[in-house]
Structure 1
Amino acid sequence: MKRWLSNAEVSLGNHSDRLNAINIFPVADGDTGTNLYLTLCAATEAAAEADTADIGELLGLAGRAAMESARGNSGTLFSVFLTSMAEPLAGAVRLSAPLLGAALQRAQLRSWSVLSDPVPGTMLSVLEAAAHAASDSEAAITGDDSNAGLALTLRAMMDAALAAVVDTENQLDALTEARVVDAGGVGFLLILDALRAAALGEELQEELLDGLHGYDVQAPHIHAHMPRMEGVEVMCTINLSPLDAATLRLQLDEMGDSVIMSAVSPVEDGYRWRVHVHTPDAGATIDLLRRLGEPMNLSITELSADGHETRELPVITPNPDFPGFPGAGETSKAHGL
């Protein structure tokens, strides 16, 4: 598992520029590769420091670390994937076909549920195809926990995931018009291939992405010419009761889109949540968050107007452990929020 995350980090680092170039959904802001890579770095670091033979515990630690510093839609969904995949693996010390099928099924159900408006043709579709292929494999169905059964299941998973990536171009109008596959789907395919390689002691498939539309190194930066949303991406973690969490999701749906809310861990009277939204009004969004709780790790990132880079606006939130730390009001005023 540690080798999987480490290899995935290297793979995404090598491909991040091209993933950014074809990033046009849900916003053409050219940052999917960067967001996935930076989120994976947090997961890899946490996994490397973990001292456990329990692969579920390991992935849970990695997933929670990724969740706390997740970047963008893709990074947040990857964090959800890791934390939910860890649940059926709790107590296991080796991966098998039945466990892989169960873990991927749990991950795809949770990943679809955290989005207010899940859309086919994204990394969600790739995860769903991979989960079905793994859980429908003969080894998973018969309970075959041999290495040979795992190998066949992983290869079936990869075949299904690759087919799903190719199909993303036909599932979203923006991708069809641009003749390009989904960037998040491709990034997730690379993550799955790193899992296959690590589990089987094989190399990454260098030819895996050959022929994917828009992915050739000579292809242009597709996102640079696509319409994009005006506004910002707001992300934070916040402790909420179940009722307040439901209220927040409902009101965020009214204020913006690309709403993702995922429970990170239990806290007193509720859960710690990771929140993500694209909104035209950062001030109103932050006011809403602060009416319900105290947002932590709060960041506001402009949805790039030129399609080449995003500029993160640092937002300082009060920290009770450091009384002299500047308050949120000062920073909010500085950014006109």
Structure 2
Amino acid sequence: MIQGNELRDALISGANNIARHKTQVDELNIFPVPDGDTGTNMSMTIGAAAKELAKAEEGGADQIAHTAASALLRGARGNSGVILSLLFRGFSKSVKGKAALTGSDLANALGVGVEAAYKAVMKPTEGTILTVSRIACEKGRAAAEIDNDPVYVWSAICKGAAEALKQTPDLLPVLKKAGVVDAGGKGLCYIFDGMLSVFKDGVIVSNEQPEAKSDLSSDDFFRNAAAEFDQEINFTYCTEFIVGRDPECKKEPSELRAYLEGIGDCVVVVDDEEIIKVHVHTEDPGNALQAGLTFGQLLTVKIENMKEQHRKAQEANEENKAKAEKKPLTPVEPTEEVGFVAVAAGEGLNTLFSDLGCAQIVSGGQTMNPSTEDILAAVRATPAKTVLVLPNNKNIIMAAEQTIPLVTDRKVIVLPTRTIPQGLSALLAYDPDASTEQNTVSMMEAASRVNTGSVTFAARDSEYGGHKISEGDILGLENGKLTLIERDIVHTCSKLTRSMVSRSTSFITIIYGSDVTEEQANDAYNRIRTKVSSDIEVTLVNGGQPVYYFLISVE
């Protein structure tokens, strides 16, 4: 039988195990844009439960499961985190009243969680964490009929999860094409394996990060050596380039290294028969490039102003520090009829949503999905009997929806806005004289009429949608679908916007982010203004959002 303290230690061990491997899970994400990755979201979700369990008093298995389920629900981040919380919420309901658990109790409890997870997803997709959890449960139930020993059953659950994970590429063609398994399923396997360590051997997996591999490729060395040197800025420009070697050039790369060491520091030169890869910090990037040209043609070039980057990083750290020091939101009485909560990131966007009537802005978006607890705190701090929540990101909708049963003193309605432009259009469509039901319909109709464009960068090398993508490429997306791969943010913004315009277009709003200069923003505006009909109203807004250079709303 599994006692309460064993279940507690097992859940903490599962949380530690995925924390150790969250980067590997993140790297399985096949879409190249920077986002709130699966491993990070799942780790933060079950990590919230581990914190509560670490300070929990001794109790039966049902009490431990209840504590974990409650913390998981509130800490849920992203779709993968919400599904994970649903699995353990169902688990908790199934073991209610049981101080200790048999093997069949474990398998059946997981089954209740699987059913809850499938029901919560509007269109369940096989080849995901859902498939892995379902097959794991089936294997566990079959094992329980042979031997009701908890270790035997949970071992079968872990084995079933691993087998199901291997099948995910056959169920989802996009995984097979990318040559990876499902990230959420992999994360669940780490959690289950961490739990097994306690059930079987009584050992809680450490949450320390595993040591890095020693057999680094030249690419790994190139990046890591560069990063190692970036702590002290003696020169302004970080210059990186690749030279395609001229077969007729008789000079050795060591000559290039010697020259670069004379005009800068942090020099790294890696070469093979075909190319020379160079990294140097210098005040004269032009001279470095000219020296490289004597060995062959330049294939790629990247020059970054490190002092400017350092300044921005310091500003971001100060901003984050200020946010961290903010007092927790205080719940207030619902005195007004209707209030709004929106999720957004960036000073300009926060101001825009506030000006449109949002009582609370939850900080978050693509790269950091807020938890259910974050959204819940904002709802309770909104003085309204009915609170409309605008997630403004498809990966935040499920977390927002989990707040609905947690609030008893006011009504919560989640409008499933998937982008910032959709959220803004929905707010603009609000009619204070209409009923809540009428507004819910009209606001979502307004959101559905918006075409959203976004310009960002590739966070990883990838092959997606028939395109070969390199880290750092500029990506143009229309309604989340990758349509452009370019090298210049202004050109991408202009080209993407013009492709989205139709005969029915009346309004274009260009929202530029924190990494875009006013000069670049005005350049993009002028290019678009001169290329579209004079009947279309074009507006430029400083959103200050991270990650996305431009967000484009076309209506």
Tell whether the structures are fold-level matches, with TM greater than 0.5: yes
Indicate conservation of the 8 Å contact 1:130/1:157, yes or no. Answer: yes
Q: What's 1:200 paired with?
A: 200
Q: Shift in Å at residue 6 of structure 1? A: 1.9
Amino acid at match of 1:195: M
Q: CA deviation at 1:191?
A: 0.6
Which range is displaced more, 8-17 or 162-171?
Answer: 8-17
Query: How far did 1:287 drift?
Result: 4.2
Distance between the aligned counterparts of 2:77 and 2:406, measured in 1?
22
Q: Distance in 1 between matches of 2:413 and 2:67?
A: 16
Matches within 5 A, 1:258-273: 259-260=397-398, 261-262=401-402, 265=405, 267-268=407-408
Contact 2:33 2:456 in 1 (8 A): no
- Equivalent residue in structure 1 for 2:55, among 49, 59, 64: 49
Once the two structures are superposed, residues 154-189 of structure 1 have per-residue CA deviations (whole angstroms, 9 ceiling, x without a partner) of 121122110111111111122111111111111100
**Could you say which structure has the larger radius of gyration?**
2
The residue that corresponds to 1:210 in the other structure is none
Specify whether residues 90 and 303 from structure 1 end up closer, same or farther in structure 2 by C-alpha distance, changes over 3 A only: farther
- Structure 1-normalised TM-score? 0.65
Select the structure with the greater relative contact order (CA < 8 A; seq sep ≥ 6): 1
The answer to whether the Cα contact below 8 Å between 1:29 and 1:303 also exists between their aligned partners in 2 is: no
Q: Does 1:178 align with 2:178?
A: yes
Q: Report the equivalent of 1:225.
A: none
Residue identity opposite 1:306 in structure 2: A
Q: Secondary structure at the match of 2:108?
A: helix
Aligned partner of 2:311 in structure 1 is none
Structure 1 residues 236-281: Cα deviation after superposition (integer angstroms, max 9, x where no partner): 3469xxxx99x99xx99xx975653447756538988999874353
Distance of 2:425 and 2:71 partners within structure 1: 25
Task: Select which of 3, 9, 12 maps to 2:15.
Answer: 9
Mind listing any 5+ residue stretches in structure 1 that lack a counterpart? 206-215, 222-230, 293-301, 314-332
Q: Is the 8 A contact 2:33 2:458 kept in 1?
A: no
Deviations 1:98-148 (A, max 9, x none): 2112111101000111112221111111100111111222x3x47x65xxx
Q: Is the 1:60–1:86 Cα contact (8 Å) retained in structure 2?
A: yes
Partner of 1:322: none
1-side partners of 2:24 and 2:413: how far apart? 31
Q: Identity of aligned pairs, percent?
A: 24
Which structure has more helix as a fraction of its residues?
1
Query: Are residues 1:307 and 2:459 paired?
Result: yes
Change (3 A) 1:179 1:107: same
Deviation at 1:307, TM superposition (A): 2.6
Return the alpha-carbon distance in structure 2 between the equivalents of residues 54 and 204 of structure 1: 19
State the distance in 2 between where 1:129 and 1:257 align.
27
More strand by share: 2
Q: 2:69 aligns with which of 51, 63, 81?
A: 63
The answer on whether the counterparts of 2:135 and 2:160 sit within 8 Å (CA) in structure 1 is: yes
Gaps of 5+ in 2: 1-6, 206-214, 221-363, 381-385, 431-435, 438-453, 461-470, 472-513, 515-542, 546-550
Q: Which of 132, 145, 168 in structure 2 is aligned with 1:126?
A: 132
Contact 1:74–1:184, Cα closer than 8 Å, also in 2: yes
Note the aligned Cα RMSD (angstroms): 4.4
The farther-off stretch of 63-72 and 264-273 is 264-273
Give, in whole Å, the separation in 1 of the partners of 2:111 and 2:74.
23
CA–CA separation in structure 1 for the residues paired with 2:69 and 2:425: 26
Residues 1:217 and 1:36: Cα distance change in structure 2 (over 3 Å): farther
Residues 1:81 and 2:221 are matched in the alignment = no
1:113 matched to 2:119? The reply is: yes
